[in-house]
Amino acid sequence: MESLRHRLARIVQAYMDTVPRLDSQIKMSKEARVAQSTVQRILAGTQGATIDVLEKLATAFGVKNPQYMLLERDEVELLTLWSRMGIEEKNTVLGFMRIKHQANEPAQDQTFLSGALLPPDIGRASKLDSGQSLNQTTPKSNDKQRQKKPRTEKR
């Protein structure tokens, strides 16, 4: 499995290859406002990036969400499309994915849908029964009723 350092190095290099104004380490370091040696070490895979550096790199490349800097292009596209969908569309897509996954790998563990590292809607949807939808919520007890205590009279 590819380390995050090497993945970041590969992705930063790919951005630099596709963004002409940032096609060198010097240009990249000036635009991102980080040391050129930092860019060099990230590209060599010998240094990881702090959150601050990752945010600066993302800003330099025009990536709106710095978390996307570690994603492949198809993953970014998937999340972008997902964020534009309504609840019904998301339910349809998740239903299709569940059916497709079960048909292809019926004995496989479905822990990829655990929701641990997924956006909230995806995580919630993965835990729902097939008859539920994302917009259904569990009934909540009335907090005010629970907090009411019988009043005792002071004499």
pLDDT tens figures, 113-127? 444 444 444 444 444
Backbone angles phi, psi at 65, to 5 degrees: -110, 110
pTM of the entire structure?
A: 0.55
Q: For the domain that residue 65 is a member of, what is the CATH number?
A: 1.10.260.40
Whether the per-residue pLDDT at 95 is higher than 50: the answer is yes
Number of domains forming the structure of the chain: 2
Per-residue confidence (pLDDT) for residue 152, from 0 to 100: 59
Is residue 120 in some structural domain? yes
Query: Cα dist. 30→6, 22, 53, 121 in Å?
Result: 22, 9, 13, 38
* Choice among 25-39, 53-67, 126-140 with the minimum mean pLDDT: 126-140
Contacts of residue 21, Cβ cutoff 8 Å, sequence gap at least 6: 27, 31
Per-residue confidence (pLDDT) for residue 101, from 0 to 100: 85
Q: Which structural domain, as residue segments, surrounds residue 97?
A: 85-126
Helix, strand or coil, per DSSP, at residue 98: helix
